[in-house]
A and B are shown apart, each in its own frame.
Chain A
Amino acid sequence: MRHADILHRCFRCGYCKLPGNYADFNCPAYLERRFETYSPGGRMWLIRAWLEGRIKTSPRLQDILFSCTACGNCVEQCTLANIKDQLLMAFTAGKEQLLAGGAVPPAVRDCLERLQKYGNPYGVARRKRADWAVSTAVAAFAGQDHLFWVGDEGAYDPRGQQIARSVAGLMARLGVSFGILGADEVSDGNEAKAMGEYDLFEELAATNTAAFAAAGAGSIIALSPHGFNALKNDYPKSGGALAVQHYTQVVAARMAKARFRDDGPAQTVTYHDSCYLGRHNKEYWSARKVLAAVPGLKLVEMERNLQNALCCGGGGGNLVTGILGSGADAAARVRVREAVATGAQVLAVACPTCAIMFEEAVKQEKLEGCLQVREISEIVAERMA
């Protein structure tokens, strides 16, 4: 197995479970399940025991490995500089090894089969990939400055589609020239890779890279931080080197052009750092710059922010597989309670996965009356003149 050589070097000191100020548990899987097996250190020791035959393949082992959301908190907090960068890769390699033996949770198997068959985890026909843009002014890519990469959630999930339309609308108002590939794109494969399906990821990346080349795209604006991560960091290794930005970066650079109404209500907003923007790509400030530029908004921080933000629990395929996400200690439910504790009325997000996870959590926590989950462009657009 790849990265097997680091497994025994974990001391299980437990820094990986915590944020930088140690205030609470910050590993979504451990936070929810509370058995040491679900902590990053527990996973390290279990994978090693499994490779050495001391633990057998089992549904529990599968659940433990696939509950990892790939949020990167463990990488951020680990004190061992020589191995920390490989922690997530080791967990992913463990998943890859389980996949190779055909031993994965049914929800993961089904998700990967849909990705293989339909090019998306929702099992919707590829030809419907641009349906979100019907009745909008969004055009097919035809040499515009940028290709707008909508991703699976933006293309198929109803809430993700709303966000895609909102972001597209805001970029158009700010004068961004862009088009979409529509049915020519497939999943960016970020979650396939996080679930250990490297071959499928390569296949998806090759399909998309060929589509970029055929369309003549040179610059990409990604809607989802997950897609942003794959396109920016993994596609170049697969031969797909393009200039990639997240939409918040594009919007932040154009905020000086935005004109706002002066009758917008005063609101307190707290911003949630998406793992794939923040910890994975160190992009913490564009969304905050955007929000800070909107009149009438007061931006407050949650206790866990920036590199210490608590994940929404939707990464690593968990948005679709639902392996995590039950009970009062589910990461998204803990996070919306944390948002309410700031006094904010709005939880701002820059990721469709986070939006979907948090909106469900707000319902579960019965916080509909005091907290709204809004995507950045929605907040900006409604206050523009």
Chain B
Amino acid sequence: MSTLCEALAAIVGPEYVSDRPEELYIYSMDPGTMPACLPDAVVLPDTTEQVCRIMELANQRKVPVVPLGAGLVLSGLSRPLRGGIVVDMKRMNRVIEVNPMSRYALVEAGTSQGMLQAYLKKHHPQLKHSCPDAPPAATVAGNVSIHGSGHLSLVGGFHSDMLNGLEVVLPTGKLVRIGSCSASPYWFARAPLPDLAGLFLGWAGTTGIITRLAIKLYPNHRFNDVDIFVCEDPELMPDVMYRLSGTQIGEDMTAWMSPKPDWARGFLHCNISYGAGSKEELIWKRNLIRASVRPIIDRKTGGFMPLPKAMKHPFLEVPGRTLSRFADVRKGGGFEYVGAIMPVDLFADAYRIGLEIAADLRVSYSLGARVIGANHCMMFFFAYAFNRADPQDVKQAQNALARTNQRVIAIGAIPWKAEAPAQKEIIGRMDPGAFDLIQAIRKVLDPQGIMNPGNWEIN
């Protein structure tokens, strides 16, 4: 029998397979705090057919497989916890089709947010997709598969809600199409068929490898603006968000609370961005947004921050380049966050948890929340910066993250893209029937247990 690398090289070509120490090292970790786990090999497929053959090989040899996009999840989901093959999908980065009238794009799984954004700007400037607050190298498929959110989530919900269909290679190597594309040449929706997409969303790559996906696109307005509502009382924020989102005008709404810059310390900010086809429409929308929180403004408990036009650019830039700079707060290139999905009602509790943990552990922090849908829930993030050259500092950030996971689960939130240890905490609270069903489904889809093992497991 050939070695694993020889067999993989026969599929993708020798130049796109490696078991050299350099690749094994780099692919053993992500930029977050989770410890490294060495793979046995790294492979870079270029086609769906190659992915099928890789999966068949892995299934035959019972070798673990870990799919990888840009590796920017930060919580270590793409670390090969039990070794095996890391399948780096970024060579498969073609934009296959855009249907402008039905407003969807079909892309390969390695397509980055930036590439799709640039493609739309060039070929379909009237359209845009929802970008997460991640660097542009992050992949569309990776973010959809973890239930990400982004700058159109006030309109469209989670990025997984914006999914129209999937092409997936199952752990056995079998190829399946899900959604309208399973019965039609078009990728317009998941309805009205039995919705199988859920088998691959939120599973941390334990059920298959996405090779293609179609996502919803939205109007790219010519005129855009952002307003920032400011107050000092965290108890007030759910009502602010409720009122602002109730206008159904905003595209994105994010709260942010940070000790830096100095002028922001102690204040709670809520950005609402919106677009329009004309200046008149933009003014009309602005007036409606402002009217929605008029009672709060009249009570003098909050108001809109005066913001010169020039200062609005960083708040309207998608993706925001300034976000990556948080990694250098401690001059150490690191940050990780707990993104806890929770009802908006829990805002004040979450805020206090963040402040308490940051003060107690003396970690550099940034807190915030993105509203999903019409205030249906929010992703509250607790970001902690660390210096990766200082093991103690890394440990302290790990402690802060672990403690945050425990505290938010205790108040009824669920950590998003949870680290393997946090997954176990969630499982501990999960309805046993639901967990049993998860395991039963995995066993059917992945009889050899090769897909990203170590995730969504008790042991």
Which residue of chain A lies nearest to B110 when distances are taken between CB atoms in the complex?
A34
Alpha-carbon distance between A46 and B28 when the two chains are bound, in angstroms: 12
How near does chain A come to B94, taking the closest CB pair, in angstroms?
Answer: 11
Asked if A14 meets B42 with Cβ closer than 8 Å, knowing A36-B88, A82-B328, the reply is no
Q: Which residue, of B25, B115, B333, B387, has the highest number of chain A Cβ atoms within 10 A?
A: B333
Pick the interface stretch among A54-62, A160-168, A229-237, A352-360: A54-62
Contact between chains at A8 and B387 (CB < 8 Å): yes
Q: Does A305 contact B (CB under 8 A)?
A: no
Contact between chains at A303 and B122 (CB < 8 Å): yes
Q: Does A10 contact B (CB under 8 A)?
A: yes
Q: Does A45 contact B (CB under 8 A)?
A: yes
Contact between chains at A80 and B21 (CB < 8 Å): no
Asked if A55 meets B22 with Cβ closer than 8 Å, knowing A21-B121, A24-B115, A36-B27, the reply is yes
Contact between chains at B23 and A21 (CB < 8 Å): no
Contact between chains at A11 and B324 (CB < 8 Å): yes
How near does chain B come to A66, taking the closest CB pair, in angstroms?
Answer: 13
Contact between chains at B321 and A79 (CB < 8 Å): yes
Which residue of chain B lies nearest to A10 when distances are taken between CB atoms in the complex?
B333
Contact between chains at B137 and A15 (CB < 8 Å): yes
Pick the interface stretch among B12-20, B151-159, B188-196, B263-271: B12-20
Which residue of chain B lies nearest to A56 when distances are taken between CB atoms in the complex?
B21
Alpha-carbon distance between A25 and B72 when the two chains are bound, in angstroms: 17
Q: Does B70 contact A (CB under 8 A)?
A: yes
Which of B22, B90, B114 touches A61 (beta carbons < 8 Å)?
Answer: B22
Which residue of chain B lies nearest to A44 when distances are taken between CB atoms in the complex?
B333
A-B contact count (CB 8 A): 115
How near does chain B come to A261, taking the closest CB pair, in angstroms?
Answer: 37
Q: Does A18 contact B (CB under 8 A)?
A: yes
Asked if A35 meets B18 with Cβ closer than 8 Å, knowing A11-B327, A15-B136, A22-B118, the reply is yes
Alpha-carbon distance between A211 and B325 when the two chains are bound, in angstroms: 47
Contact between chains at A49 and B20 (CB < 8 Å): no
Contact between chains at B88 and A34 (CB < 8 Å): yes
**Besides the known contacts A23-B122, A35-B18, 12 further A-B residue pairs in the complex with CB atoms under 8 A apart:** A8-B333, A14-B137, A21-B118, A22-B136, A33-B15, A35-B44, A36-B71, A36-B88, A37-B22, A46-B25, A55-B21, A64-B22
Q: Would you give 16 A-B contacts (Cβ < 8 Å), ordered by A? A: A8-B332, A9-B331, A11-B31, A13-B135, A13-B324, A14-B70, A14-B72, A15-B136, A15-B324, A21-B114, A23-B115, A36-B23, A46-B22, A58-B21, A61-B22, A82-B328
Chain B residues near A (Cβ < 8 Å): 15-16, 18, 20-23, 25-27, 31, 42, 44, 70-72, 88, 90-91, 112-115, 117-119, 121-122, 135-138, 321-322, 324-325, 327-328, 331-335, 387-389
Pairs A-B, 10 closest by C-beta atoms? A22-B114, A14-B137, A23-B118, A11-B327, A8-B389, A22-B136, A13-B135, A9-B333, A13-B324, A79-B324
